Structure 1
Amino acid sequence: MKSLFLRLLVSLWLAMALLVGLLAVIHGWAFSAEPSGLRRRLNTRSVELRAEGALACARDGLPGCEQRLAPLDPRDQRVAVYRAGALVMGEPIEGAPLVEDRARRSADGIAIEVGQERELVAVVLRRDPALAAVAAGPVRSPWMFFIVPETLPQRLLAIVAVTGLVAVLLARYLSRPIRILRGATQRMAAGDLSVRVAQKLAGADGETLALGRDMDRMAERIDELLETQRRLLRDVSHELRSPLARLNIALELVRRRSPPDVEPAFDRIERETERLNGMIGELLTLSRLESGRGMERTERVDLTALLEQLVDDAAFEAEQRGCSVELGARDACSLDGNEELLRRAIENVVRNAVRFTEPGTAVRVDLECSGGTAEVRVRDRGPGVPEGALGDLWKPFYRVDDHRARGAGGTGIGLAITQRAVRIHGGEVEARNADGGGLEVALRLPIGAGG
Structure 2
Amino acid sequence: MNQRYPRRLFTKMLVAFLLVFLLISQVIWLGFSLFVHDDSPFSKQQRSLQQVQLASLSELLTQSGPVIARSLVESWDPDVRPQVTISPSSIKAFEDQEDERGVPTIISRQVGDKAGNHYQVVLDYKGLKHFDERGHRSWHDSLHIPKPIMFFAPFLGIFFSLLLAWNMTRPIRQLREGFDKVSRGDLSVRLFPSMKRRYDELSIVAKDFDAMVERIDVLVRAREALLHDISHELRTPLARVQLAVGLARQSELNIPQSLDRIDLETERLDKMIGELLTLSRAEHEGIDIDQYFDFIALLDAILVDVRYEAQQPEVDVVAHYDSLKSVTVRGNAELIRRAIENVLRNALRYSSQGQAIVVNLEVDRDTLLLNICDSGPGVAEEKISSIFDPFVRLQSPYSGKGYGLGLAIVRKVITAHHGQVSATNRQEGGLNIAIRLPRWPE
Q: TM-score range by the shorter chain?
A: 0.3 to 0.5
TM-score (norm 1): 0.45
Q: Which structure would you say has the larger Rg?
A: 2
TM-score (norm 2): 0.46
